[in-house]
Amino acid sequence: MLSTPSSIMPLTPDDESFLFQPVPLGQKIQCKVIRRKHSMGSVYPQYELYLEGTNGARFFLMSARRKKKARGATYLISLNRFDSGDFDERVVAKVKCKVFLNSHCRSNFLGTLFTVYDGKRDKERNERAAILYQPNIFGLCGPRKMTLLLPGLTSEGRIKPLTYKSGSCQLHEKFKTDEIAEILVMRNKTPQWNDGMY
């Protein structure tokens, strides 16, 4: 059953807790990500996430941008729009990217790991997700396999907290060591090569 925006949107615009909770059992939502070019070009793109409603209506949920002057690729996720002037005031999560050696491919093939954690203080941060992009037979160019790792759920349907540790990703470590009973693993459909895209 496809959820309507009114059934999952928060009661007040300041209540972001619904963004960090799983969708109710038996329901699903449909969202759309829009990529917008920054004035500095493609180096600092901006992203906006919308909840798809009926009759083509869209409801803004959050936006993200690459953090400037950061070591590696770090993104900030905010509940405010870019053009609102107060993007940084409601940052609720950060995304860190690092390159790792993919043990399932030849040693010169690299994959990319993104770790998503909330915007709390260092000792209070929780991992929210990990996204792995894996190369294919064409190398770094072309469609990639994507794996999404999420913390497991309790019997009440709540997210199990997973403390974030700087320099490591617990979700990825559990996935590598086959401890997947405690996490949710999702994979995209096998990507197809499209000559017009590359």
pLDDT computed for residue 101 by the predictor: 41
Pick 82 or 12 by higher pLDDT: 82
pLDDT at residue 1, as a whole number: 53
Query: DSSP readout, 100-132?
Result: EE-TTS-TT-EEEEEEEEESS-GGG-BEEEEEE
pTM: 0.68
- Specify the pLDDT at position 86: 61
* pLDDT exceeds 80 at position 107: no
Q: What pLDDT shows up at residue 102?
A: 36
The CATH architecture that domain 102-198 belongs to is Alpha-Beta Barrel (3.20)
Tell whether the model's pLDDT for residue 41 goes beyond 70. no
Pick the residue with more confidence: 17 or 116? 116
Mean pLDDT of the chain: 72
Lowest model confidence (mean pLDDT) among 36-40, 53-57, 94-98, 137-141: 137-141
What pLDDT score does 87 carry?
60
State the DSSP code for 153.
B
Residue 198: DSSP 8-state:
-
Residue-level pLDDT at 192: 66
